[in-house]
């Protein structure tokens, strides 16, 4: 590493590496195109000389029918600022680019995902297996020429719905057994445990330092395990009780959200985003609306901005309360703490129901605003919650849990993630801030109207489970501060720019909208080619990428603590598996 | 002191438990099985923990609550049903899971399409209750319902709703969504007045 890191304005890479890098000159695109053989060198220079130490998102775009496959990287500085977008191009038939795991270890899962869904090989990746689909999955579903066994039409709306309306039950036209396709030579009957060997082979074995004269053991936690918050599996190598290595296995809830999105019109994706992180659907709406608004260039009215902030912060309060309660579940305090926090969550959900019509699947945001104005009297209700009820509950929780000796001895010093590791592994949200990195997108790269509010970025420095819990508790307090200011300042006025429309015109180009969701950085990468549906729609799911650091945190911990460590990441499987 | 934190935590749970009963005594019998009791239990300042005794008690749903669409018809003077839907197909096009099928009526004499749906189906197994159909209908013809108790024994036979099952009178709509209904009536009246003035 050089002594001085250049941290001023964005570097002009085309000048720095004239032979390897050129600006992306396509209409509506930004960033640079990098010669893929030199990608690793450019990235290493960016990290070490220019301070772009945080690789946020890795994804691919298939430009079928052109013979072009593109890998898109979004880089940030962990001290804040705008993003730097880099792209590496390859062809469709033999898609491959160098892997960045050696520079940014946080790319590991995202590169695996790009291989799984788009069929892009990453040369030098240590463990390039499928991650969201399984070994018996045929093809790479996000390729534009891939079709499922029951294929209706490429884009919605489907022509069969109107004006002749051929009604039928989808289940009848897509019966079980016919709705599967396997790769050539794959027999699901004979495929069984042997298929897991590649997974087990990637696990490192210990050197028996645990001092036990026992064999090392591979233990599968999950997928059907009550403390994994859903169908999620961890494969752990144990030496006695100590974890030597661990791999998360996910995808049991995979539904290819992104392919669904690419077949939908822009607006139709909105209710599907609710189903990602179903605990905090308002935030999911927020990120997606931001990304498409960036493309469309619409200005959101003042009142709508305030409503958005109020809803997003209520969501954060709710999600953090929830995660604190369920962390205690994972520690063995079965459901009493969870139910205590669910009381307040219920009151917040009442507010969401009143304003959007649904408790969890809110579908409340539209491009350029929100669906409807707050009903009368709702602001007073929110105010009472914010100034009275939730602070009281926080005090209660402090008395109840924060000083509790059992909680402290189970959480302090367990699952430590250092600041360097957290940045390198692309951890985000409370995980990053609990490790001592004061990175909050609301401050680092402000979106919406967050630059107007007075609040602090919460940081803790131990990086253990306990600090993650404390960060969440303090963030609730900061959210309440924002909420108080937002309720005080909210102006009257329109709540939607323009007229409500079910088809929106989105100019061709790319946009990346990111927000500080309760779980971390939630980003939406949208590529439009001017048609009613997006050409590419990618979700940078915070809980999925935060799981990259699970192995690092669990190493040398006791197997019983792994469950608590997982709880402290606060994953939601709807978002992990997409 | 070691153990103090645990004792404090236990005190929190104990107090919570006791407060439930104090509220109970304070508010008396009407705390349960009555509308104001339910409201009181959802208030921000209530203490203790309460459940709603479903199905004897039900939480009232807010006006904007949405669960499955229905089609609105206006009642004519002699009980005839004037379907508001014009079979324009916007709901079917806006629907994210594509669960709406419409067959447009055709005038048998001329063969030209008529602005009435001949058939209208919604597969409620697929419907995701997003409310787009109601939001973007230009004729206020399709609205989201409040009735969420629709469990059946056999989903294969009953869960494609046809026109007959979807049609509900405007009076029902006015009952479940009074504020929306009045606003729409006012808008409609204003539009007609403007038309007459011209």
Closest chain B residue to the Cα of A361, Cα to Cα: B130
Whether the Cβ atoms of residue B53 and residue B32 lie closer than 8 Å to each other: yes
Which tens digit of pLDDT belongs to each residue from B133-177? 999 998 889 999 998 888 888 888 888 888 888 888 988 999 998
Closest chain B residue to the Cα of A357, Cα to Cα: B65
Which among A264, A354, A403 has CB closest to B64? Answer: A354
β-pairing verdict for B160-161 and B67-75: unpaired
Q: To the nearest whole angstrom, how far is the Cα of B25 from the nearest Cα of chain A?
A: 21
Residue B90: its chain A contacts at CB < 8 A?
A: 502
Burial A12-37 (b: 16+ CB within 10 A, else e): ebeeebeebbeebeeeebebbbbebe
Instruction: Give dist(CA B57, CA B42) in Å, integer.
Output: 13
Which of B106, B130, B133, B166 has the most A C-beta neighbours within 10 Å, making it the best mutation to test the interface with A? B130
Listing DSSP states for A65-83 in one string gives TSS-EEEEEEEE-TT----
Confidence of residue A210 (pLDDT cuts 50, 70, 90): low
Per-residue pLDDT at A214 exceeds 70: no
Beta-bridge partners for A54: A76
Whether the Cβ atoms of residue A306 and residue A491 lie closer than 8 Å to each other: yes
As given in the structure block, the two tokens for residue A14 are 């085309």
Residue B65: its chain A contacts at CB < 8 A?
A: 353, 357-358
Name every residue whose Cβ is closer than 8 Å to that of residue A387 and which is 6 or more positions away in sequence: A480, A484
CA angle A110, A113, A118 (to 5 degrees): 125
Q: To the nearest whole angstrom, how far is the Cα of A214 from the nearest Cα of chain B?
A: 36
Residue B123: its chain A contacts at CB < 8 A?
A: 167, 169-170
Instruction: Give dist(CA B176, CA B73) in Å, integer.
Output: 15
As given in the structure block, the two tokens for residue B91 are 């709901």
Residue A336: its chain B contacts at CB < 8 A?
A: 13
Closest chain A residue to the Cα of B15, Cα to Cα: A396
Instruction: Give dist(CA A256, CA B51) in Å, integer.
Output: 38
Inspect the interface and report whether the beta carbons of B100 and A401 lie closer than 8 Å. no
Inspect the interface and report whether the beta carbons of A161 and B100 lie closer than 8 Å. yes
Which of A334, A339, A363 has the most B C-beta neighbours within 10 Å, making it the best mutation to test the interface with B? A363
Which class in CATH covers the domain with range B67-197? alpha beta
Whether the Cβ atoms of residue A535 and residue A527 lie closer than 8 Å to each other: yes
Ordered by start, the domain boundaries in chain B are 1-60, 67-197
Instruction: Give dist(CA B9, CA B4) in Å, integer.
Output: 9
Whether the Cβ atoms of residue A396 and residue A340 lie closer than 8 Å to each other: yes
Confidence of residue A7 (pLDDT cuts 50, 70, 90): low
Inspect the interface and report whether the beta carbons of A357 and B66 lie closer than 8 Å. yes
Which among A166, A385, A400 has CB closest to B9? Answer: A400
Inspect the interface and report whether the beta carbons of B64 and A363 lie closer than 8 Å. no
Name every residue whose Cβ is closer than 8 Å to that of residue B197 and which is 6 or more positions away in sequence: none
Whether the Cβ atoms of residue B125 and residue B61 lie closer than 8 Å to each other: no
Which tens digit of pLDDT belongs to each residue from A105-164? 989 999 999 999 998 999 888 888 888 888 788 889 998 888 888 888 888 888 888 878
Inspect the interface and report whether the beta carbons of A272 and B96 lie closer than 8 Å. yes
Inspect the interface and report whether the beta carbons of B121 and A165 lie closer than 8 Å. yes
Per-residue pLDDT at A211 exceeds 60: no
Inspect the interface and report whether the beta carbons of A162 and B42 lie closer than 8 Å. no
Inspect the interface and report whether the beta carbons of A162 and B92 lie closer than 8 Å. yes
Which tens digit of pLDDT belongs to each residue from A266-279? 999 999 999 988 88
Lowest mean pLDDT among A31-35, A480-484, A540-544: A31-35
Q: What are phi and psi of B121, to 5 degrees?
A: -125, 145
Residue A340: its chain B contacts at CB < 8 A?
A: 16
Whether the Cβ atoms of residue A325 and residue A319 lie closer than 8 Å to each other: no
Averaged over A474-501, what is the pLDDT?
A: 90
As given in the structure block, the two tokens for residue B128 are 């995701």
Q: How is residue B32 annotated by DSSP?
A: S
Inspect the interface and report whether the beta carbons of A502 and B132 lie closer than 8 Å. yes
Residue B12: its chain A contacts at CB < 8 A?
A: 396, 399-400
Instruction: Give dist(CA A471, CA B47) in Å, integer.
Output: 27
Q: Which one, of A540, A561, A544, A494, lies nearest residue A72 by Cα?
A: A540
Closest chain A residue to the Cα of B130, Cα to Cα: A271
Total length of chain B: 198
| Three-state secondary structure call for residue A301 | coil
Q: To the nearest whole angstrom, how far is the Cα of A447 from the nearest Cα of chain B?
A: 26
Size of interface A-B (CB pairs under 8 A): 147
Averaged over A490-511, what is the pLDDT?
A: 88
Inspect the interface and report whether the beta carbons of A161 and B101 lie closer than 8 Å. yes
Instruction: Give dist(CA A390, CA B164) in Å, integer.
Output: 47
Report how far apart the first and last C-alpha atoms of chain A are (Å, whole number): 37
Residue B179: its chain A contacts at CB < 8 A?
A: 375
Instruction: Give dist(CA B13, CA B57) in Å, integer.
Output: 27
Inspect the interface and report whether the beta carbons of A268 and B119 lie closer than 8 Å. no
| Three-state secondary structure call for residue A475 | helix
Which of A159, A400, A500 has the most B C-beta neighbours within 10 Å, making it the best mutation to test the interface with B? A400
Which of B2, B3, B64, B114 has the most A C-beta neighbours within 10 Å, making it the best mutation to test the interface with A? B64
Which among A157, A355, A361 has CB closest to B93? Answer: A157
Q: What is the pTM of this model?
A: 0.89
What is the pLDDT of chain A when averaged over all its residues? Answer: 86
Which tens digit of pLDDT belongs to each residue from A231-241? 888 888 888 88
Inspect the interface and report whether the beta carbons of B66 and A358 lie closer than 8 Å. yes
Which tens digit of pLDDT belongs to each residue from A527-577? 998 888 899 999 999 999 999 999 888 888 888 888 889 888 888 888 898
Inspect the interface and report whether the beta carbons of B8 and A406 lie closer than 8 Å. no
Inspect the interface and report whether the beta carbons of A353 and B64 lie closer than 8 Å. yes
For A491-530, strand residue ranges (E) read: 509-517, 520-528
Instruction: Give dist(CA A569, CA A560) in Å, integer.
Output: 16
Other CB atoms within 10 A of residue A286 CB: 27
* Domains of chain A, first to last: 13-123 (3.30.460.80), 198-249 (no CATH), 257-495+506-568 (1.10.645.10)
Which among B6, B100, B131 has CB closest to A357? Answer: B131
Confidence of residue B36 (pLDDT cuts 50, 70, 90): confident
Name every residue whose Cβ is closer than 8 Å to that of residue A368 and which is 6 or more positions away in sequence: A293, A296, A298, A299, A300, A301, A304, A496, A497, A498
Q: What is the pLDDT at residue A232? A: 87
Q: What is the pLDDT at residue A273? A: 92
Q: To the nearest whole angstrom, how far is the Cα of A376 from the nearest Cα of chain B?
A: 11
Q: What are phi and psi of A559, to 5 degrees?
A: -60, -35
Alpha-carbon Rg for chain B, nearest whole angstrom, is: 24
Which tens digit of pLDDT belongs to each residue from A65-92? 888 899 999 998 888 888 889 999 898 8
Q: Which one, of A123, A2, A103, A110, lies nearest residue A58 by Cα?
A: A110
Whether the Cβ atoms of residue A39 and residue A70 lie closer than 8 Å to each other: no
Beta-bridge partners for A218: A237
Q: To the nearest whole angstrom, how far is the Cα of A73 from the nearest Cα of chain B?
A: 30
Q: What are phi and psi of A536, to 5 degrees?
A: -140, 140
Per-residue pLDDT at A501 exceeds 70: yes
Per-residue pLDDT at A194 exceeds 60: no
Which among B92, B123, B135 has CB closest to A157? Answer: B92
Confidence of residue A5 (pLDDT cuts 50, 70, 90): low
Which among A156, A169, A339 has CB closest to B160? Answer: A169
């Amino acid at each position: 590493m050089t002594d001085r890191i250049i941290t001023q304005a964005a570097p002009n890479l085309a000048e720095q590496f004239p032979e390897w890098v050129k600006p992306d000159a396509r209409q509506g695109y930004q960033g640079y195109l990098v010669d893929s053989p030199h990608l690793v060198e450019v990235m290493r220079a960016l990290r070490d000389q220019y301070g772009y130490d945080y690789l946020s998102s890795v994804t691919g775009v298939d430009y079928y029918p052109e013979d072009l496959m593109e890998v898109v990287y979004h880089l940030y500085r962990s001290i804040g600022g705008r993003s730097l977008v880099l792209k590496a191009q390859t062809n469709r038939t033999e898609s491959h680019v160098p892997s960045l795991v050696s520079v940014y270890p946080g790319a590991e899962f995202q590169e695996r995902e790009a291989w799984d869904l788009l069929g892009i090989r990453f040369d030098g990746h240590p463990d390039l297996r499928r991650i969201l689909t399984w070994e018996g999955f045929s093809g790479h579903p996000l390729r534009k020429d891939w079709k499922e066994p029951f294929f209706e039409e490429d884009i919605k709306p489907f022509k069969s719905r109107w004006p002749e309306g051929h009604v039928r039950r989808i289940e009848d036209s897509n019966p079980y057994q016919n709705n599967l396709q396997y790769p050539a030579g794959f027999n699901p009957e004979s495929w069984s445990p042997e298929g897991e060997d590649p997974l087990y082979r990637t696990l490192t074995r210990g050197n028996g330092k645990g001092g036990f004269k026992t064999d090392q053991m591979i233990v599968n936690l999950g997928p059907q395990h009550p403390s994994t918050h859903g169908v999620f599996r961890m494969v752990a190598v144990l030496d006695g009780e100590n974890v030597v290595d661990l791999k998360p296995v996910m995808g049991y809830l995979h539904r290819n959200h992104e392919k669904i999105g690419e077949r939908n019109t822009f607006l139709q994706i909105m209710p599907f985003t609710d189903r990602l992180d179903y605990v905090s659907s308002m935030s999911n709406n927020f990120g997606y609306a931001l990304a498409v608004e960036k493309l469309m260039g619409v200005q959101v009215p003042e009142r709508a901005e305030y409503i958005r902030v109020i809803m997003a912060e209520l969501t954060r309060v709710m999600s953090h309360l929830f995660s604190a309660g369920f962390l205690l579940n994972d520690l063995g305090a079965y459901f009493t703490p969870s139910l205590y926090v669910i009381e307040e969550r219920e009151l917040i959900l009442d507010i969401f129901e009143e304003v959007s019509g649904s408790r969890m699947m809110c579908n409340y945001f539209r491009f350029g605003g929100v669906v409807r104005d707050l009903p009368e009297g709702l602001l007073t209700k929110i105010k009472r919650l914010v100034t009275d009820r939730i602070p009281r509950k926080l005090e209660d929780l402090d008395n109840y849990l924060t000083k509790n000796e059992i909680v402290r001895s189970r959480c302090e010093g367990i699952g430590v993630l250092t600041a360097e590791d957290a940045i390198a592994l692309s951890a985000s949200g409370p995980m990053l801030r609990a490790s001592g990195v004061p990175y909050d997108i609301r401050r680092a790269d402000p979106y919406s109207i967050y630059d107007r509010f007075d609040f602090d970025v919460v940081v803790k420095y131990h990086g253990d489970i306990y600090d993650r819990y404390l960060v969440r508790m303090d963030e609730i307090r900061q959210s309440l501060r924002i909420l108080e200011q937002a309720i005080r300042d909210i102006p009257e006025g329109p709540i939607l720019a323009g007229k409500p429309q079910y088809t929106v015109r989105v100019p061709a180009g790319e946009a990346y909208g990111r927000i500080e969701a309760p779980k971390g950085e939630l980003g939406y990468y949208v590529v439009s080619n001017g048609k009613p549906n997006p050409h590419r729609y990618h979700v940078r799911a915070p809980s999925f990428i935060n799981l990259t650091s699970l192995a690092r945190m669990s190493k040398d911990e006791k197997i019983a603590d792994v469950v608590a460590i997982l709880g402290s990441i606060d994953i939601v499987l709807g978002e992990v598996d997409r | 002191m070691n153990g103090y934190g645990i004792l404090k935590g236990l005190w929190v749970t104990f107090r919570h438990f006791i407060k439930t009963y104090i509220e109970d005594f304070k508010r008396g019998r009407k705390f349960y099985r009555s509308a104001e009791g339910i409201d009181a239990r959802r208030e921000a300042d209530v203490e203790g923990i309460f459940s709603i005794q479903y199905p004897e008690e039900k939480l009232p749903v807010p006006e904007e609550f949405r669960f499955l669409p229905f089609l609105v018809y206006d009642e004519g003077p002699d009980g005839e049903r004037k379907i508001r839907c014009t079979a324009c197909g916007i709901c079917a096009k806006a629907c994210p899971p594509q669960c709406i099928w419409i067959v447009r009526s055709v005038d048998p004499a001329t063969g030209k399409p008529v602005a009435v749906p001949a058939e209208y189906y919604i597969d409620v197994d697929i419907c995701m209750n997003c409310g787009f159909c109601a939001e973007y209908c230009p004729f206020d013809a399709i609205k989201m319902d409040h009735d969420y108790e629709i469990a059946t024994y056999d989903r294969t036979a009953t869960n494609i709703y046809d026109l007959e099952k979807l049609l509900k009178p405007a009076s029902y709509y006015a009952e479940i969504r009074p504020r929306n209904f009045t606003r729409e009536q006012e808008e409609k009246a204003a539009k007609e007045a403007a038309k007459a003035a011209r």
